[in-house]
Amino acid sequence: MIVLSLTTYCAISQTALVDSVTCIPNSILRNAIKQIETGKVVKEELLLTKKSVSLLQNSLTIKDSVIASYQRSEADYKNIYTNAKIQMIDLNSLIANERAIGKIYMLDARKQKKLKWVYAISGIAVGYFIVHK
């Protein structure tokens, strides 16, 4: 490369009608080679940057899908929790109703017990009055 950059090269013009030789100074050639190499490096950097952007977009898409999945799971768990709370309220009201029904039956049973004694005493009293009349 050092040998190439220190010498002057002759080129044949491909567009000219007559064969002609054009001499290009070394400094211009060196400058052109530098620009070509710089362009290749920049092109490689651009390709790598595009790949990096693509990978980051894919990663972001995956993260968004994971977040959406967690949000759906959270919504499902909230629904389950809400339904469980509603069921607990319903069961508590059912227990309260059963206790109230139990109290009513207990009061009714006591009333029936008392009525049994009242009927027994009144039957004895009626029998006594019938016999002693």
Distance between CA atoms of 20 and 111, rounded to whole angstroms?
134
Q: What is the dihedral of CA 66, 70, 76, 78, to 10 degrees?
A: -160
- Domain total of the chain: 1
What is the reported pLDDT for 132? 81
Which residues are within 8 A (CB) of 20 and not within 5 positions of it... i.e. 6 or more apart? Answer: 12, 13
The tens place of each residue's pLDDT in the chain, 133 residues long, gives 454 455 555 555 556 555 666 788 888 888 888 889 888 999 999 999 999 999 999 999 999 999 999 999 999 999 999 999 999 999 999 999 999 999 999 999 999 999 999 999 998 988 888 888 7
Structural domain of residue 14, as residue ranges?
2-131
Q: According to the model, what pLDDT value does residue 21 have?
A: 67
State the pTM of this model.
0.47
